Chain A
């Protein structure tokens, strides 16, 4: 009975979080805000569903499966990487370099640095390291 209540609570929480994540993708006004909803809320929702599934197979069916933990771990590892890449794409496509805050160094933001410029600065840094070391 207790296990049933626990599984049901996990299922309801996961459903609410999943719906909130997908709703946030529609409702939030700014592209950078819209990035928050799916990468955080939906990942938590799917994690809840997988934990509920693991509890169900342990308490009701009687077999322990660790596949869910693997999927949860994989999703929790890849969600920040996905969010980072989508944020970078948005920055690259819709912001101009002069509209951004200063980086505090001589180099521009990494997304706008050309390959030739990067190669030149890194070669200079290598030469500097070779001279002192």
Chain B
């Protein structure tokens, strides 16, 4: 039963990642593009957690922690750059 639910969750997050890629390429405003990149990071973390369940190993949690931190920093730097024209003032 966990196998079926895992396949369903994989399909949902994979589809979400494809929709985000569509939004990154065809975005109406710059803010949408940054938001789509941030959502891609979150979906990638979810896929890593699901892959950890699939493989039965906790090795991938360090990777997802690092991805979460770099994703947050990159989103903040993109928005800072658009807001102030400079990242570190």
Contacts and interface: CB of A to CB of B under 8 A. Distances in A.
B82 A22 contact: no
Interface stretch (A63-71, A97-105, A124-132): A63-71
Q: Interface size for chain B: under 10, 10 to 19, 20 to 34, or 35 or more residues?
A: 35 or more
A22 B15 contact: yes
A92 B83 contact: yes
Interface residues of A, number: 54
Contacts of B31: 31, 35, 86-87, 89-90, 93
A23 B65 CA distance: 25
A14 B45 contact: no
B2 A11 contact: yes
A94 B63 CA distance: 36
A18 B32 CA distance: 17
A70 B65 contact: yes
Given A82-B72, A89-B30, A61 B5 contact: no
B20 A86 contact: no
Most chain A CB within a 10 A radius of its CB, from B2, B8, B38, B39: B39
A49 B29 contact: no
Given A15-B10, A49-B49, A92-B83, 11 more contacts: A15-B12, A18-B13, A38-B42, A43-B42, A45-B13, A71-B45, A81-B76, A86-B75, A89-B83, A90-B29, A93-B29
Interface of A: 4-5, 7-9, 11-12, 14-16, 18-19, 21-23, 25-26, 31, 34-35, 38, 42-43, 45-46, 49-50, 52-53, 56-57, 60-61, 63, 65, 67-68, 70-71, 74-75, 78, 81-82, 85-90, 92-94, 111
Interface of B: 1-2, 4-6, 8-13, 15-17, 19-20, 22-23, 28-32, 34-36, 38-39, 42-43, 45-46, 49-50, 52-53, 56, 58, 61-62, 64-65, 68-69, 72, 75-76, 79-80, 82-83
